[in-house]
């Protein structure tokens, strides 16, 4: 695929880390929540191998927070998601599909309960703040909705635990997956969660104090040398191999959460009130007509910039490939596809035109095994 430049402007917001990653060799950006999100530091495959073995620092400030506070904040957050948050706890993260009244997915954020009256919705790429404001205004909810000055840096990779222990001490090793707490760095408290958009383990630091955050960024590179720390970013190969779904890529507002395999985050039988609940009951009763599945192709190269039609032996279109990459682990191209009923059975053969050639492959389960 030919390279095109990104035309920078104030509208594609820089992050506090942008000037640093540009000195450190970022080569490509994507745009996420109207903000620059690094997409490559040279070779994706080199970064993938490094991420699986060592530790990386990521500028993921594009993962913006929608802060909802006030008396009706819990009610508004619950209204937006099909996941039952009635038993949620302070200091915990929750993966929460956000739905509209037709049960179409609007975003798939991680929700942080700071306390009962203050929540952060750590969003994928869509303006959830506008949906929240519209709902709050229309319902006359007593809430305050803002995008706070929070710029996440992620520490990812198997050696992230040792690196973070070196900086924050033994206390951080006690943090459970999807738990968060406040940790001191040179006199400034930072909210840190054990989370991140890779399956290699690690942390996300929700930086509110920019100056301290930049000092911390530099410090992590200084003390991380012994762990072979490098700058990085969400890695296309690692995230597909790990079947981490990407909103806008693998699913969008035309899809419902059952089609995306989010069943365990859908609580239609609880008595909570959320948008799309009746619609979801109908969908469950009728059964879905398409489903996200994995695909493995008998080829070694792909570069996808949009959906790609998938066909069966008789040239019927049976679905569309939405994300794909060459997987070093499987030694072939793998991808995530929305497959029509009844073609979603494992082993269903598929074909697609890749780089001008007809390539064959098979449907498989997600996560990939």
Say whether residue 272 binds a copy of itself (CB under 8 A). Answer: no
Judged by beta carbon, residue 27 or residue 360, the one nearer a copy of itself is: 27
285 C-beta neighbours (distance < 10 Å), count: 7
Q: Which of 307, 311, 332, 364 touches a copy of itself by CB under 8 A?
A: 307
Instruction: Tell me if 26 contacts a copy of itself by CB under 8 A.
Output: yes
Kindly identify the residues of this chain, within the stretch 248-267, that bind a copy of itself according to CB under 8 A: 248-249
Site for a copy of itself contains 323 (CB under 8 A): yes
**Beta strands 65-69; 118-122: pairing state:** antiparallel
CB neighbour list of residue 173: distance below 8 Å, 6 or more residues apart: 161, 165
Can residue 114 be called a binding residue for a copy of itself (CB under 8 A)?
A: no
Q: What is the DSSP letter of 31?
A: E
Q: Does 247 bind a copy of itself (CB under 8 A)?
A: yes
Least separation in angstroms between residue 209's CB and a copy of itself is 20
Task: Find the helix or strand (DSSP H, E) in which 68 lies.
Answer: strand 65-69
Q: Does 279 bind a copy of itself (CB under 8 A)?
A: no
Quick one: three-class SS letters along 265-329? HCCCCCCCCCCCHHHHHHHHHHCCCEEEEEEEECCCCCCCCCCEEEECCCCCEEEEEEEEEEECC
Q: Which stretch binds a copy of itself (CB under 8 A): 19-27, 174-182, 259-267, 290-298?
A: 19-27
Q: Give 59's strand partners.
A: 153
Q: Which is nearer to a copy of itself, 4 or 177 (CB)?
A: 4
Tell the smallest beta-carbon distance from residue 190 to a copy of itself (Å): 24
Shortest CA distance to 181 belongs to which of 205, 163, 159? 205
Computed on alpha carbons and rounded to an integer, the radius of gyration of the chain in Å comes to 21
149 binds a copy of itself (CB under 8 A): no
SS3 135: helix
Q: Does the protein bind a copy of itself through residue 12 (CB under 8 A)?
A: yes
Should residue 8 be labelled a site residue for a copy of itself when binding is judged by CB under 8 A?
yes
- Which residues lie near a copy of itself (CB under 8 A)? 1-14, 22, 26-31, 34, 39-40, 100-101, 106, 125-128, 130-140, 236, 246-249, 275, 304-307, 322-323
């Amino acid at each position: 695929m030919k390279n095109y430049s990104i035309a920078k402007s104030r509208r594609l917001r820089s992050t506090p880390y942008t000037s640093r990653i540009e000195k450190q060799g970022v080569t490509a950006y994507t745009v996420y929540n109207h903000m620059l999100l690094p997409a490559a530091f040279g070779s994706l495959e080199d970064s993938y191998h490094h991420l699986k073995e060592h530790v990386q620092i990521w500028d993921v400030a594009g993962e913006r927070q929608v802060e909802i506070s006030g008396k009706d904040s819990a009610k508004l957050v619950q209204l937006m998601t099909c996941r039952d948050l009635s038993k949620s706890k302070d200091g915990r993260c929750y993966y929460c599909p956000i739905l509209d009244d037709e049960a179409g997915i609007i975003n798939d954020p991680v929700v942080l309960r700071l306390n009962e009256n203050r929540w952060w919705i750590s969003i994928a790429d869509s303006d959830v703040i506008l949906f929240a404001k519209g709902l709050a205004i229309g319902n006359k909810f007593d809430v305050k909705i803002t995008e706070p000055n929070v710029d996440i840096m992620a520490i990812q990779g198997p050696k992230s635990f040792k690196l973070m222990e070196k900086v924050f001490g033994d206390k951080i090793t006690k943090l459970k997956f999807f738990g968060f707490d406040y940790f001191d760095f040179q006199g400034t408290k930072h909210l840190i969660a054990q989370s991140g958009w890779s399956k290699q383990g690690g942390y996300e630091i929700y930086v509110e104090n920019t100056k301290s955050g930049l000092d911390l960024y530099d410090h992590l590179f200084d003390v991380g040398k012994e762990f072979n720390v490098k700058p990085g970013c969400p890695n296309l190969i690692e995230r597909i191999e790990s079947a981490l779904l990407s909103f806008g890529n693998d699913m969008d507002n035309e899809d419902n959460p059952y089609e995306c395999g989010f069943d365990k985050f859908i609580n239609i039988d609880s008595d909570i009130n959320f948008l799309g609940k009746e619609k979801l009951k109908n969908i469950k009763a009728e059964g879905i007509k398409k489903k996200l599945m994995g695909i493995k192709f008998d080829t070694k190269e792909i570069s996808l910039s949009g959906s790609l039609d998938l066909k069966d032996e008789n040239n019927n279109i049976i679905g569309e490939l939405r994300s794909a990459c060459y997987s070093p682990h499987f030694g072939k191209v793998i991808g995530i596809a929305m497959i029509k009923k009844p073609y979603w059975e494992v082993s269903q053969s598929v074909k697609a035109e890749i780089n001008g050639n007809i390539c064959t492959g098979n449907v498989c389960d997600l996560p990939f095994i």
